[in-house]
Amino acid sequence: MKNRFKLLVIIVGISIVSCQEKVKKEENVKKESNDIEITDKQQDFLGITHKDKLSAASKRALKWDQNLGNEWFIEFSALQPLRGDLAYEEGVVRRDPSAMIKHDGKYYVWYSKSVGPTQGFAGDIEKDKVFPWDRCDIWYATSEDGWTWKEEGLAVPRGEKGSYDDRSVFTVEIMENDGMYYLCYQTVKSPYVVRVKNQIGLAWSNSPDGPWTKSEEPILSPADNGIWKGTEQNRFLVEKKGDFDSHKVHDPCIIPYKEKFYLYYKGEQMGEAITFGGRQIRHGVAIADNPKGPYIKSEYNPISNSGHEICVWPYNDGIASLITTDGPEKNTIQWAPDGINFEIMSVIPGVTAHAIGLNRTADIEKEPTEILRWGLSHIYNSYDYQSIMRFESHRKTTHAAKGESTKK
């Protein structure tokens, strides 16, 4: 009987404590809600029922910029095939188009090009092609209208055996500055194994038609603070992951900004994880006083929580970025007033364009997304072969049914 009484006392005690904690939590939530000042305009715009009873969602909404508009909100159309030499060609990989510039009345674009199917990592690494972007060189093409393209030839080839770029040069971007042209791109040194640490190279010329002089050494390399576990070619086995770019530095793009040169890039981490946003991919920036470097990585890296291919452009004295594919903030347009501290400006549904080649001739100050009105992308015709396509987008300002008036 005594034991039963003790047990009853314990149960009652636990119940009282639990109830007290529940009441305390509810009082704290109510207090926190009451501490937040909400204007009538905010309440009306956000549709909040009671000012003193705020859900977690309402609290987040109140932190948004209350001048939310549609200046940054766009929709992409379906990709459209190009004509001429950049039309899809069986057996050929053309992918990762650079931005387009205009010279002597013609658009110029550079891209990764290789031939033949992909075998992957299971075969003979020295002879096979492990990815579609393996064994690539950088080619270029021109067009008068952005639709029909003429392939002009090889721009930057792979390096000689033993050099840092002897296996593949790919995912190229163009920068024009002070009468000179610069191509930055990814590089891989043989053998192309799973744990290979690729780097970023640079080439320059006084003409978009070349010839191009390549940097003798890479201008950017992965962080050196991750530790692999064991010797097996498994990129997920690590003792220490290291910085966000401890495995690879990808998708470089150099932007002249504030009298310096900002090299934006994608970082891949050793032991890359899958999070609630997908692959653990983030962006970084390295800054130089000279286009040829040296490039010093920002102490604030990583500068994004998400992203895949780099797509950045100057706007309103800052830098805008389209973030796609990977991470919890994927499919957003972001903007940083200082080129480093990015904030989400809009969430974009159904991004059809990837590896975007921007039209650098666009009026970048007309409106935030003017540079995204049209440009180039790539598409997987199959896993083995990809081709370059054209994308278009438009601002989305209203949502109405057929025949419905949109006047306000």
What would the pLDDT profile of 235-247 be if each residue is shown by its tens digit?
Answer: 999 999 999 999 9
Model confidence pLDDT, tens digit, residues 70-87: 899 999 999 999 999 999
Q: What is the mean pLDDT of residues 45-53?
A: 91
State yes or no: pLDDT of 4 exceeds 60.
no
Report the pLDDT averaged over residues 301-307.
97
Predicted local distance difference test score (pLDDT) of residue 37: 87
Predicted local confidence at residue 16, as pLDDT: 47
User: Confidence band (pLDDT; 50, 70, 90) for 295?
Assistant: very high
Beta-carbon contacts of 179 under 8 Å, excluding residues fewer than 6 positions away, are: 206
Q: Is 124 within 8 Å of 143 (Cβ atoms)?
A: no
Burial category of 350 from C-beta neighbours within 10 Å (exposed 0-12, middle 13-18, buried 19 and up): exposed
Q: Do the Cβ atoms of 294 and 220 come closer than 8 Å?
A: no
What's residue 12's pLDDT?
41
Rounded-to-integer distance, Cα 221 and Cα 260, Å: 20
Query: Above 70 in pLDDT, residue 379?
Result: yes
Tell me what percent of the residues of the chain surpass a pLDDT of 90: 82
Report which of 131, 294, 278 is spatially closest to residue 221, judged by C-alpha positions.
294
Residue 33 has a pLDDT of 47
pLDDT bin (cut points 50, 70, 90) of residue 34 is low
- What pairing do the DSSP bridges indicate for beta strands 148-156 and 83-84? parallel
Strands (E), 356-395: 374-380, 386-395
**Number of neighbouring beta carbons within 10 Å of residue 76:** 18
Cα 229 to chain centroid distance, Å, stands at 28
Q: What pLDDT was estimated at residue 401? A: 84
- Residue among 193, 295, 291 nearest 247 (CA): 193
Is 169 buried (19+), middle (13-18) or exposed (0-12) by CB count in 10 A? buried
pTM, rounded to two decimals: 0.90
CB 50, CB 33: distance < 8 Å: no
Mean pLDDT of 19-31: 48
| Tokens encoding 40 | 């009538």
What phi, psi does 372 have (nearest 5°)? -95, 5
Structure confidence at residue 9 (pLDDT): 41
Q: Which residue has the tokens 């002879």?
A: 127
Is the pLDDT reported for residue 351 higher than 80? yes
